[in-house]
Amino acid sequence: MLLRRAPDWKGRRHEFLSASFAAAIGAPEEIVFAVLTHHKRIADSRPFADPNNRLCFYHSLPESWAHMNREFEANRDALNDLWTEITCALNRPDFMTSSDKPLTGLFLPSAWCDARKQRNAIPDPLRKRASLIRGLLVTADHLASGHEALPSPVDLKTFHPGFTLRPFQIRSAKNGNLILRAPTGSGKTESALNWAAFNQPSNGRLFYTLPYTAALNAMHSRLQREFPARANSIGLLHGKAAHHLFDAMQREYPSNPAKATSEAKARARLAHEMYYPVRVCTPHQLLRFTLRGKGWEQMLSEIPGACVIFDEVHSYDPALAGLTLGTARLFHEMGAKLMFISATLPKFLEQLIARLVPCETITPTPKLEGDEEVLGTHRHFVRVADATLHDLLPSIIRDAEAGCTALVVCNHVRSAQLMAAELRLALGSEAICLFHGRFNARDRTRIETSLSGPKLPRVLVATQVVEVSLDISYQKGYFEAAPIDALAQRMGRVNRRGTDPPADITIAARPLNRHAIYDSSRTVATLECLRSMSGPISEQSLTDICDRVYVDGYTGEDLKIFNERLDHKYLTRFDEHIIAGDHENWTETAITDIDSRVDVLPSCLLAEFRQLQSEHLWLEADALSVNIFRTARLMKHVRTDRDIWVTDLPYNGDGLQLN
């Protein structure tokens, strides 16, 4: 097969021979098991279990066993020569002594290979060790098959920000777990890297998590700039990572789109392996480990000693917050170092984190020069208007015509589309940029690129996608009402550095869309607090308002959901529930949000999609689809076209139109 002289393996599975040989030379059971299962999952006697890709063999050996064994024995002399060379290279002569033993098909207790029996028959530590070895072996096998050499480690201590760090940033270089509360734009990322550099062991891993795709892409690009000599050692891990990487590969291979596609897909795939020493990812990718999703065994070798940064954990819903904090607690027990950073972390959440994971909290100190500048900066005048954003259109237009740049943030995509259309009529299309989550990947990349350029669009109309990690700074802000933590993030994109006089922020108290996406009581409480403020608002005032709005923490159904996820059995009794050689369909058992979204292709792009497919430009074709929530109302407008879902809903420069 390797010499391409045979069409297929004809039922010969090398892992049977390899595991039998490992048993013959005296390898422990957990090593034999890892060898046996490194291509297929173990059998599962549970009802309705997915039978695909499972190793259903043990009580009846494969038909090819006898033939494989005869071939093996016929080549025993050649194998012994090779084995001698291998054991000498490994300095393990003890394995050489028993290599002449005949192979047998009965080399492992049958309980190992049955998911239900394994937990009862095999001790927890042995199952955990077998999982550790299997994770290492599977990764090594994948990387070797792909001819991938491991990238160089990233020494985080080489990080130099290019400016004098503030006192709170310097104090972040603390050993152990840390909570950092600091204003948006004050340098939280520099603090995080300073902390990670202090805590990183030799070749230690760094996981940097953020909740939104746009923020992840921006952070990945930033870390590559911060560590230019190790840019290829920094991976990006989220559902659409290949599209962001494709943009970079196009610059590297401008005349070869097929090469750019293959490189982008390869790098996105490698981010799922034990490959990149630094990874930027969503919290869901860490939950894939702890909830025993496919490839979960990697965590057993990667998490001990790792630095894990949770950025903007306050923005999670109760279910995701519970799973994430339960994961953080488990990572702490496994020996990882954890950092939580936020501009507006509510006090109740800070106290909850500190109860789960021993943490020190750092905030800018008013009495220290540099820190005092951050806390004392008054970046905004905030006014609450008893109006909708549509009512405020004349003010937005006047500001833009006077030469001011303005950020307009809506709570719904449809509202943003309507506002952008109105503003184009008044100011012209060139002055308006629209950004929301209902664009396809190609257009999202185009918009993100325009926002990272030297000159911002005069008016940016957006949804919540602007709230995290986009390094933009506008002169005026017009926002729909939301809880204080969301508003603080939006405000952080106006007069971001605080170098200009306080900028005007107008909050529209009345919604454009009747469907509320935020807790109404927290939104009302936020508006009441903001109405009581006079003069320019300080960063400390935003923190105080956040604590008042969230004084009761999670309550009612939110509290119930949070606690259920926090105390998920895989997070509280992880070792007890380990089944070596198996994984869970974790997105269905614990995270419904992912399965409630779907990629649909606008029919107006179908011809282009098929043309790109015919040219084998798979990523460029996939970048035409739009990822949206899967609702009954939407699915009425979706049909199948061979291998994809297509919608006849309009798609244009404003994104997908659902109404």
- Over residues 457-473, mean pLDDT: 87
Q: In this structure, what CATH number is given to the domain that contains residue 234?
A: 3.40.50.300
Q: Does residue 30 belong to any structural domain of this protein?
A: yes
Please tell me the predicted confidence (pLDDT) of residue 49.
45
Find the helix or strand (DSSP H, E) in which 243 lies. helix 241-252
**Cβ 561 vs Cβ 319: under 8 Å:** yes
Q: Report the domain count for the chain.
A: 4
* Cβ atoms of residues 179 and 350 within 8 Å: yes
Q: Are residues 134 and 162 in the same domain?
A: no
Q: What is the band of 80 on the pLDDT scale with cuts at 50, 70, 90?
A: confident
Of the candidates 250, 569, 623, the one whose C-alpha atom is nearest the C-alpha of residue 444 is 623
Same domain for 446 and 332, yes or no, is: no
Same domain, residue pair 188 and 332: yes
Per-residue pLDDT band for 463 (boundaries 50, 70, 90) equals: very high
Are residue 321 and residue 217 in the same domain, yes or no?
yes
- Mention every residue, 6+ apart, whose C-beta is less than 8 A from residue 92: none
Is 107 within the bounds of a domain?
Answer: yes
* Residue 587 confidence class, pLDDT cut points 50, 70, 90: low
Q: Is residue 572 part of a domain?
A: no
pLDDT value of position 48: 41
pLDDT digits (tens, 9 = 90+) for 504-562: 999 999 999 988 889 899 999 999 999 998 889 988 888 889 999 999 898 899 899 99
Are residues 238 and 315 both part of a single domain? yes
Last residue of a domain, one of 537, 560, 586: 537
Q: Check pLDDT > 80 for residue 46.
A: no
Q: What is the pLDDT of residue 593?
A: 47
pLDDT higher for 461 or 264?
461
Tens digits of per-residue pLDDT, 125-156? 999 999 999 999 999 998 888 888 889 999 99
Residue pLDDT, tens place only, 320-348: 899 999 999 999 999 999 999 988 888 99
Q: Same structural domain for residues 86 and 28?
A: yes
The one-letter amino acid at 362: I
DSSP strand E in 10-140: where? 41-42, 54-55
Whether residue 91 sits in one domain with residue 31: yes
pLDDT computed for residue 405 by the predictor: 96
Given a cut of 70, whether residue 261 has pLDDT beyond it is yes
pLDDT tens sequence across 370-428: 888 887 778 899 999 999 999 999 999 999 999 999 999 999 999 999 999 999 999 99
**Domain end point (choices 94, 123, 145):** 145
Q: In this structure, are residues 616 and 589 in contact, taking their beta carbons and an 8 Å threshold?
A: no
**The two three-digit tokens of residue 115, written as one number:** 């998911």
393 and 530 share a domain? yes
Does residue 498 sit in the same domain as residue 395? Answer: yes
Average pLDDT, the chain: 88
Q: Residue 549 is encoded by which pair of tokens? A: 């709005």
- pLDDT at 50 exceeding the cut of 60: no
Do residues 413 and 436 make contact, with C-beta atoms less than 8 angstroms apart? yes
**Whether the predicted model's global pTM rises above the 0.85 cut:** yes
Return the percentage of the chain with pLDDT > 70, whole number.
Answer: 94
Q: Alpha-carbon distance 615 to 91, whole Å? A: 50
* 2 domain-assigned: no
The residue range of the domain holding 219 is 156-369
Token pair recorded at residue 348: 């109740």
Query: Residue 629 — very low, low, confident or very high, per pLDDT cuts 50/70/90?
Result: confident
Burial track 619-638 (b if 16+ CB lie within 10 A, e otherwise)? bbbbbbbbbbeeeeebeeeb
- Of 313, 338, 369, the last residue of a domain is 369
CA distance 160 to 117: 53
Please indicate whether residue 315 or residue 225 has the higher confidence score (pLDDT).
225
Residue 92 lies in a domain: yes
In-domain check, residue 4: no
Is residue 590 very low, low, confident or very high in pLDDT (cuts 50, 70, 90)?
Answer: low
Residue 626 CA to residue 630 CA, distance in Å, equals 12
* pLDDT of 622 higher than 70: yes
CA distance readout (Å), 137 to 96, 111, 289, 452, 499: 21, 21, 17, 41, 53
Name which of 181, 248, 255 is nearest 221 in CA terms: 248
Cβ neighbours of residue 578 closer than 8 Å, sequence gap 6 or more:
119, 124, 127, 128, 131, 292
Residue 344 tokens read as 């507006």
Check whether residue 76 and residue 220 sit in a common domain.
no
Q: Are residues 53 and 102 in the same domain?
A: yes
Residue 276 sits in the same domain as residue 404: no
**Phi-psi bin for 401: left (phi > 0), alpha (psi -120 to 50), beta?**
alpha
